Amino acid sequence: MLFLLSTAAATLELTPDNWQAEVVDSGKSAFIKFFAPWCGHCKKMKPDWDALAEEYESSDKILIADCDCTAGGKDLCEKFGVRGFPTIKSFGAGDEDGEDYKGGRDLASLKKFASELGPGCTVDNLEVCTAEQKEKLDKYVAMDADARSSKITALSTSLKDAESAHEKLLESLQAQYKASQEALEKLKEETAPELKLLKAASPSAKKATAQKDEV
């Protein structure tokens, strides 16, 4: 029991109140699970995730944390476009957008990925950039700061508009599906009695054959 309590306590829960300090300003790379308590897949991976968090609890380079999308972390989940549970994202030091984790959810896979986390390639961490990354980064480093800021705003707005349009489409499709399902159930209810009588009035194939033979 004591071990279970200590493992659970090792997993930091993120909210908008501590995100800046724990993730953005910490200088650490972050590995974060966005979840809902009722989610079956979340419950299944919790022991392995908590074991990983316990292993890195005192690390000054890697942060393993949770974000409850039904409670204090709801706004963060909306900010990062979380649509399903669990969604796992990694954030290199200095990276405020994060990347979706697509690997396995067993402890061995999670540990391997976490061990390879490091600071992201930014103008403040050029030493970790590859030659190809530096070449691509130089184009934007050379931009005027205002132009770069405008570009970030434009792309972010475009992405947010696309996400909003996607959500509206999904809502529309769900409404259409619901209406179609209700219409189908109504049709079944209306036709079932007559269909049952029609079938009851129709002799079976064996009976019909026997009657034909008698004639």
Closest CA to 105 of 166, 42, 156: 42
Q: With b meaning 16 or more CB within 10 Å and e meaning fewer, what string describes 102-141?
A: eeebebeebeebbeebebbbeeeeeeebeeeeeeeeeeee
pLDDT of residue 215: 56
DSSP-based three-state secondary structure for 62: strand
How is residue 24 written in tokens?
């953005």
The Cα–Cα gap between 192 and 123 comes to 70
DSSP-based three-state secondary structure for 157: helix
- Per-residue pLDDT tens over the stretch 85-100: 999 999 987 778 899 9
Percent helix, strand, coil in the chain (nearest 5)? 60, 10, 30
How is residue 21 written in tokens?
């300090």
Closest CA to 92 of 14, 10, 27: 27
Question: Which range, of 40-44, 180-184, 205-209, averages the lowest pLDDT?
Answer: 205-209
Name the average pLDDT for the chain.
88
Type of residue at 168: K
- Per-residue pLDDT tens over the stretch 104-153: 999 999 999 999 887 777 888 788 788 998 999 999 999 999 999 999 89
Instruction: With a cut of 70, say whether residue 2 has pLDDT above it.
Output: no
- Cα dihedral 40, 43, 46, 48, rounded to 10, equals -60
Per-domain boundaries in the chain: 2-142, 167-205
Output the CA angle 64-66-67, nearest 5 degrees.
140
Homologous superfamily in CATH for domain 2-142? Glutaredoxin (3.40.30.10)
- Per-residue pLDDT tens over the stretch 31-68: 999 999 999 999 999 999 999 999 999 998 999 999 99
DSSP-based three-state secondary structure for 26: coil
The Cα–Cα gap between 114 and 62 comes to 8
Residue 153 has φ and ψ, to the nearest 5°, of -60, -45
Over pLDDT 90: what percentage of the chain? Answer: 60
Report pTM: 0.63
